[in-house]
Amino acid sequence: MDRWKGKVAIVTGASSGIGAAVVKALANAGLIVVGLARRVERVEALRAEVNESAAKHLHAIRCDITREEDILAAFRQIGQRFGGVDVLINNAGIAVGDVTLFTPANTAQLRRVVDTNVMGLVVCSREAFQSMKERS
């Protein structure tokens, strides 16, 4: 992990579960970590769970992965504050209970899953790629 020290890592779905664990691990490994989440206060609370130097390099930006304008704004802010992205961990994702493809009247639930798990991932990947390309 030494080669990644000081690099900028973005973690989506950073407020809980695997995302929160990844944020803490990357920050403790010396990366500058930006957690994207709807509940930024939960990402900010992770500072208390990492070592003191890591806490200084752990940042949170409010971002609803289902909203392209939120993603674009977050990546603009990351570019301005940190110079761009070196690592992207596309962790955000949802599963909707017992809704299946053929469940009646399931359009809203399916749209939420697709917007989060597919569109959010694709838009974040696109923006990270552009940033990485600019940074060579």
Could you give the C-alpha distances from 113 to 13, 93, 95, 109, in angstroms and in order?
A: 14, 8, 7, 6
Chunked into runs of 10 residues, the chain (136 residues) has average pLDDT values of 92 97 98 97 97 96 98 98 97 88 87 95 98 94
What are the backbone angles phi and psi of residue 16, rounded to the nearest 5°? -160, 170
This prediction's pTM: 0.94
Q: Which domains does the chain have, with CATH numbers?
A: 2-135 (3.40.50.720)
